[in-house]
Amino acid sequence: MSGVRTGLGWDSHRFVAGRPLILGGVTFPDAERGLDGHSDADVLTHAVMDALLGAAGLDDIGVQFPDSDVAYAGADSIELLGEVIPLVLALGLRVVHVDATVLMERPKLGELRGAMRERLAQALGLPRGSVNVKASTGEGMGFVGRLEGVAALAIATLEVA
C-alpha cells in the first residue's frame, strides 16, 4: 500500500417539500425545501463518505449503507460518517484532509459554511483547517441551475498510519 491514498466522492439529491435541508450535518433553518433520499439526504456528507471509502478501497455508501435497508431510513449522515471512520482506521489508514464543493443555486451557504466545516471536522477527528467546504452554482444551467436539486463533490486524502 502506498503512503498516500486519494478518493473522490460525488452525490446528488432532488429537492422535495416537507423535509429539512441538511448539508454537512447542519440544518438550514430558513430553507423552503429539503432533499429527497432514504437517509437525511445530506449530499455533502455523502460525498465525503464516498471519498473516504474510495481512498480506502471500500466500495461506496450504497454498498455500506444500502437504501434497501430500513435501518438507514431517515439516518443521520454524520452518524453514518462516524461508522466509516473505523473502517478506514482498521486498514491502517488515517484521514489527513478533506476538500468539498456544494453545487447549489440557493439557499447560499453563507454563514453556515463554517458550521459545516466544524461539524465535518469533528466527525472526522480533524482540526477545522484540514476540512474545506466550498460553494458553487450551476449558473442557471442543469438540474442545479433549475433549482431541482443539490450536488456535492469531495476529495479525501488518507495516509498510512
The domain locations on the chain are: 4-160
**CA distances in angstroms from 79 to 1, 33, 75, 120, 127, listed in the order given:** 28, 22, 8, 11, 18
pLDDT, position 44: 98
Digits of tens for pLDDT over the chain (161 positions)? Answer: 569 999 999 999 999 999 999 999 999 999 999 999 999 999 999 999 999 999 999 999 999 999 999 999 999 999 999 999 999 999 999 999 999 999 999 999 999 999 999 999 999 999 999 999 999 999 999 999 999 999 999 999 999 98
Phi, psi of 130 (to 5 degrees): -95, 5
pLDDT, position 49: 98
pTM for this prediction: 0.96
The Cα–Cα gap between 161 and 149 comes to 38
DSSP code for 46: H
Contact 84, 64 (CB under 8 A): yes
- Span 4-160 CATH architecture: 2-Layer Sandwich (3.30)
Strands 26-27 and 22-23: antiparallel
pLDDT, position 29: 95
- Residue 140: left (phi > 0), alpha (psi -120 to 50), or beta? left
Q: What is the mean pLDDT of the chain?
A: 96
- Residue 38: left (phi > 0), alpha (psi -120 to 50), or beta? alpha
pLDDT, position 161: 84
Alpha-carbon dihedral sign for residues 30, 36, 42, 47: negative
Closest of 20, 24, 29, 36 to residue 148, by C-alpha: 36
